[in-house]
Structure 1
Amino acid sequence: MTEQPFRPREKLIERQKYFQSIHKHTYLKGPMDKITSVAIPIALAASSLYLIGRGIYNMSHGIGKKE
């Protein structure tokens, strides 16, 4: 018993040629890779820097202390 492939062989060869012809870094070759490899880490870094800055500001001014 043989399994059917996930994609037809022609599509696979076509995609291999496409990815091998691109001269970018490996992690940026796909169409949605800029979102997962660039945008999400930048957003996480920016939000963490904002929260750290807000925490330092609140500590230095004594805002939000529990009684």
Structure 2
Amino acid sequence: MTIEEPFRPREKLLEKQRYFQSIHKHTYLKGPLDKITSVAIPLAFAGTTLYLIGRGIYNMSHGIGKKE
């Protein structure tokens, strides 16, 4: 029976563990690109949603875009 090699060398794993344990931020913001996925994308979705809801309310109140 063969022993499976680890995906990442132990030294690299220990280095990453030390890095992440030394940062005093929220867990979901520890990586270098986590601000994009945890903050920017949800804010973009929220902004788009609010814009589309506002446009729909405006169109309904003015009778724009009705189908005959």
Q: SS of the counterpart of 2:16?
A: helix
Q: State TM-score, norm by structure 1.
A: 0.98
Question: 1:26-61 CA deviation, whole Å, 9 max, x = no partner?
Answer: 000011110110001000000000000000000000
Q: Which consecutive residues of structure 1, in runs of 5 or more, have no partner in the other structure?
A: none
Provide the rounded CA distance (Å) in 2 between the counterparts of 1:2 and 1:27.
Answer: 34
Give 4+ residue runs of structure 1 displaced > 3 Å after superposition.
Answer: none
Count, aligned residues: 67
Query: Shift in Å at residue 62 of structure 1?
Result: 0.3
RMSD across aligned positions (CA): 0.4
Tell whether 2:67 aligns with 1:66: yes
One-letter amino acid of the structure 2 residue matched with residue 57 of structure 1:
Y
Instruction: Report the counterpart of residue 53 of structure 1 in structure 2.
Output: 54
Provide the rounded CA distance (Å) in 2 between the counterparts of 1:38 and 1:4.
Answer: 36
Percent identity, please. 82
Q: State TM-score, norm by structure 2.
A: 0.96
